[in-house]
């Protein structure tokens, strides 16, 4: 991933240094387990534990010749250890180390991601409670529908993000597995106890069964959970982008002193953070698809997944980490224009209260259909600029034969639409 979207802590997890450090951690844990079982000399393990190290530049030079990164790594480690290096990687295959080490890095990355998700949840919850009784217009098909609570909009985001977090953590837990099972996963040259000991030391669970690799449905689920998390962030960001449109003006990204919105137009304040979040979510969905393509491998293993994962796993972790970071800033500095929200509710002269009037009319009019016709006739006149909706209704003798002016006024009360918000909030918070 390019530096622009890489935060230092997450970037460090996916660095070459970190990769080889995780590889070495697995190899040392395996050597320890083998020595405890008497399969390699204890003295040899002491030397391995003390001297084991690597040189990244040296690994790169060796790999250029061998065209095998694991052999290059082990060769570099051997140069540090000396003769006892013959007991390193004893009975193991490359992916015993690679997949187990990858699980360690994913586990670390997942902890960073979850920490930011928790922060976003906290910010959305605060906004929901603060604006529980703030009226705003609800829209369906992009068109004014009925008044609702702004807090309820945030409550919807909150519950969706909670589901995303649960889904992500479940997938992360499925990824927290290791394997030390040998060339085709049958433990021919290793005792399963070695795997158990290694995983216990590394705080991973042993895979129930493996081939030469940990099965990639786990990775596909993990990448999909990240993509879904990104898609929800995109949904929230898209709502902010829409509400920032000049003709709506109900929300706006914070605009810092000295910030510029356009190289050509000095007046511009653009929703650039929300747009960035929305755009990067597309990359995550593409990576998730690539993860699914990695599930079907030949027999006990091929390496068609390997090159793909070198890109999609770190990139997805780096991107969702960055997107959450930017979204935190967006929520912390979100500008909410309550005055504009109320103005928009009344922009259409009360048309948005039509259902309440319909319900009030249905019983005295004798049928819902008859009531609907009366209300719609006046609504269409108002749409066509022939008058203000409430005035047209009060001038319609068909309506006033059933309802008094006071009863009609009661249908246009804004507080009616917030009367059950408290009940809804008790279900969420």
Residue 255 pLDDT grade (very low, low, confident, very high; cuts 50, 70, 90): confident
> What are the extents of the domains in the chain?
8-90, 92-254+264-342, 351-411
Q: Which tokens go with 395? A: 């001038």
Q: State residue 128's pLDDT score.
A: 97
Options 1.20.950.20, 1.10.275.10, 3.40.50.720, 1.10.10.60; CATH for 8-90 is: 1.10.275.10
Active site residue 15: no
Closest CA to 176 of 285, 95, 100: 100
**What are the residue ranges of helices labelled H in 300-418?**
304-332, 338-345, 354-365, 368-383, 389-395, 397-400, 405-411
Domain 92-254+264-342 has CATH 1.20.200.10: yes
Q: What is the mean pLDDT of residues 369-387?
A: 94
Q: Which tokens go with 371? A: 């009531």
Active site residue 141: yes
Closest CA to 172 of 219, 216, 213, 115: 219
pTM of the model: 0.94
pLDDT of 122 > 90? The answer is yes
Average pLDDT, the chain: 95
The span from the CA of 62 to the CA of 77, in Å, is 12
Choosing from 122, 262, 367, 401, the catalytic residue is 262
Query: What DSSP designation does 119 have?
Result: H
pLDDT of 263 > 80? The answer is no
Residue 265 pLDDT grade (very low, low, confident, very high; cuts 50, 70, 90): confident
Residue 254 pLDDT grade (very low, low, confident, very high; cuts 50, 70, 90): confident
Q: Which tokens go with 119? A: 């922060």
pLDDT digits (tens, 9 = 90+) for 11-35: 999 999 999 999 999 999 999 999 9
The neighbouring-strand residues paired with 149 are 135
Q: State residue 86's pLDDT score.
A: 95
CA dihedral 12, 15, 16, 21 (to 10 degrees): 40
């Amino acid at each position: 991933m390019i530096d622009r979207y890489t935060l230092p802590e997450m970037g460090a997890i996916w660095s070459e240094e970190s990769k080889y450090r995780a590889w070495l951690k697995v190899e040392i844990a395996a050597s320890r387990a083998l020595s405890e079982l008497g399969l390699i000399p204890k003295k040899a393990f002491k030397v391995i534990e003390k001297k084991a190290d690597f040189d990244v530049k040296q690994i790169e030079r060796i790999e250029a010749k061998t065209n095998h990164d694991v052999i290059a790594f082990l060769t570099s480690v051997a140069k540090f250890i000396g003769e006892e290096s013959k007991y390193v990687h004893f009975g193991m295959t490359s992916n015993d180390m690679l997949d187990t080490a990858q699980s360690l890095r994913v586990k670390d990355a997942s902890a960073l991601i979850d920490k930011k998700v928790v922060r976003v949840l906290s910010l959305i919850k605060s906004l929901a409670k603060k604006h529980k009784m703030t009226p705003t217009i609800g829209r369906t098909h992009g068109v004014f529908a009925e008044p609702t609570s702004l807090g309820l909009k945030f409550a919807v985001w909150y519950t969706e993000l909670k589901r995303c977090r649960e889904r992500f953590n479940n997938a992360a837990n499925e990824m927290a597995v290791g394997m030390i099972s040998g060339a085709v996963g049958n433990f021919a040259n290793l005792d399963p106890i070695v795997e158990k000991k290694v995983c216990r030391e590394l705080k991973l669970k042993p895979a129930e069964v493996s081939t030469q690799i940990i099965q990639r449905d786990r990775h596909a689920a993990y990448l999909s959970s990240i993509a879904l998390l990104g898609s929800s962030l995109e949904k929230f960001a898209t709502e902010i982008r829409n509400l920032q449109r000049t003709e709506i003006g109900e929300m706006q990204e914070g605009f810092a002193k000295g910030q510029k919105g356009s190289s050509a137009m000095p007046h511009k304040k653009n929703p650039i953070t929300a747009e960035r979040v929305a755009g990067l979510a597309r990359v995550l969905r593409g990576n998730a698809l690539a993860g699914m393509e990695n599930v079907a491998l030949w027999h006990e293993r091929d390496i068609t997944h390997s090159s793909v994962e070198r890109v999609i796993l770190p990139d997805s972790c780096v991107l969702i980490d960055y997107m959450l970071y930017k979204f935190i800033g967006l929520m912390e500095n979100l500008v909410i224009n309550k005055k504009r929200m109320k103005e928009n509710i009344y922009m259409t002269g009360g048309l948005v209260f039509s259902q309440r009037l319909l319900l009030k009319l249905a019983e005295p009019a004798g049928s819902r259909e008859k009531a609907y016709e009366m209300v719609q006739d006046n609504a269409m006149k108002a749409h066509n600029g022939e008058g203000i909706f409430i005035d047209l209704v009060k001038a319609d003798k068909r309506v006033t034969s059933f309802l008094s002016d006071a009863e009609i006024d009661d249908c246009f009360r804004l507080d009616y639409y917030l009367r059950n918000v408290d009940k809804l909030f008790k279900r969420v918070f």
